[in-house]
Amino acid sequence: MAEALQDLLGLGNGQRLDAATSDYIAYLAGQPVDALRTTERQQLAQASNSALLSIQALSKKSYKAVVASADSHASLRESIPALAGDAQQLGRLISSLDSQVEHFAASVSKAGDSKAIARRRQVLKLLDNADRLTDLMQVPALLSSTASVSPLGVSSTLDLYSHIQRLGALYPDSQLVSHVLSESEASILRLAADLINTLKAPNLKLAATLRTVGWLKRAMPDLISWAPAQDMIPAVFLICRFITLAATLDALEPLRLLAEEERLGQGKPGQPRASTTGQHTERFLKRFIEVFREHSFGIVSMSKSVDTNIGGGGGAAPDSPDLVHPLPSALSTFPIHLVGMLLEPLRLYLPAVKDKVARESILTQVLYCAGSLGRLGADFGMLLATVGVSEWVDLVKRHRLLAGRLESVIGDYR
């Protein structure tokens, strides 16, 4: 039926119908004749009118986009051939670029020692490590500022200096690292000088001493390589404390001058009696012995702690070539020098003191001083015979007798 209808409508002459047309013809073939005569015409008119209204609404709403699309499609006739030409030209350029890249790669691989390429690589490495290099250049200033912040800053400074030394060992050919290392060494030298000045403080305590000595032990091996730290630090400590002791004793110079006048005035006729009784000499000697006793005991006792702290025992190192005559430790000979400082004023000025009670008072102070150093293994009581003190033996006997009685009383009390 549908084929006959196609022939009737003149659509069967080999034309290929679209799907919509084929479906409509099949629909007409299935309808009765009366429906085709009456209602189909109305339905077609209504569908045509609805389609017209839809087309009009669409054209009113989207005519600009349709016009622009039509213009764009019209320009495709020119742009597509131009794009094809550009694509062909790009293909030719890519081939040329590929050949140039191959030539550059071959030239670079054959000229690995090119100065320009090496310089470029160096610049790139410097650019990548710019932050690290900036931090490295700030190390000397950081060393100078950190040590003055607090005692903990000294430890941080020494840790930072150790890090710089490791960098110097890893990069010995780097000019920047060598420059930073040299400036860091100057900062550590200033730090070591400050630490040594700390050891000269008048009222230096043991805790501060051990802390300062520990820092010097870390700093000095890098500054002084010709001597071990366990030999140098005790000597430096003794020198610093000796300087402090000498400065304190020098403050007694006005009293010494008065004592010197009394000593020189003895035996001269016409001198007043008050100037030859030895009052100024007594004041000078008592004050001298008092200062000497306080400082000498502290020097020797703290020096023993320093030796223990740094592990120094004196003598030559195990690998030292001079094993027959090793140098003694500084502490082993220092008390002799200290005692000489005390005995010389006694020998010179004690004869000017004529009063027996005053002489015994001075010698009692000397006895206590000898006992204090004796607890540290530096008793010098036997050396007083060399200064001409005749009553020294009787004074020692009396004090020993009193000490024995005191121990007896204490034992009975217990």
Same domain, 152 and 267: no
pLDDT at 274: 46
Same domain, 152 and 257: no
Residue 102 domain flag = no
Residue 366 domain flag = yes
Tally of CB atoms within 10 A around 266: 15
Q: What Å distances lie between residue 381 and 244, 366, 387, CA to CA?
A: 25, 8, 11
What is d(CA 260, CA 246) in angstroms, rounded to the nearest whole number?
Answer: 19
Residue 45 domain flag = yes
CB 110 within 8 A of CB 131: no
Residue that is last in its domain, among 16, 32, 58: 58
Same domain, 150 and 30: no
Residue that is last in its domain, among 11, 28, 58: 58
Same domain, 374 and 269: yes
Mean pLDDT by 10 residues, the chain (414 residues): 63 67 78 78 86 86 83 84 90 88 73 68 83 84 71 79 88 88 86 88 89 84 63 86 92 91 70 62 92 90 85 51 56 84 88 86 87 82 71 74 66 58
Residue 186 domain flag = yes
Residue that is last in its domain, among 198, 215, 250: 198
Same domain, 296 and 402: yes
Same domain, 285 and 351: yes
- Show the tokens assigned to 265: 């005035």
Residue 397 domain flag = yes
Same domain, 184 and 237: no
pLDDT at 290: 92
Same domain, 174 and 253: no
Residue 377 domain flag = yes
Angle, helices 19-29/2-9, rounded to nearest 10 degrees? 110
Residue 65 domain flag = no
CB 348 within 8 A of CB 340: no
pLDDT at 323: 47
Number of domains within the chain: 3
Same domain, 42 and 172: no
pLDDT at 150: 61
3-state SS assignment for residue 270? coil
270: containing domain: 227-315+327-413
Burial class (CB in 10 A: 0-12, 13-18, 19+), 248: middle
Same domain, 279 and 168: no
CB 24 within 8 A of CB 9: no
Same domain, 185 and 331: no
- DSSP assignment of 179-201 equals HHHHHHHHHHHHHHHHHHHHTT-
Q: Is 315 left (phi over 0), alpha (psi -120 to 50) or beta?
A: left
pLDDT at 273: 47
Residue 70 domain flag = no
Same domain, 282 and 346: yes
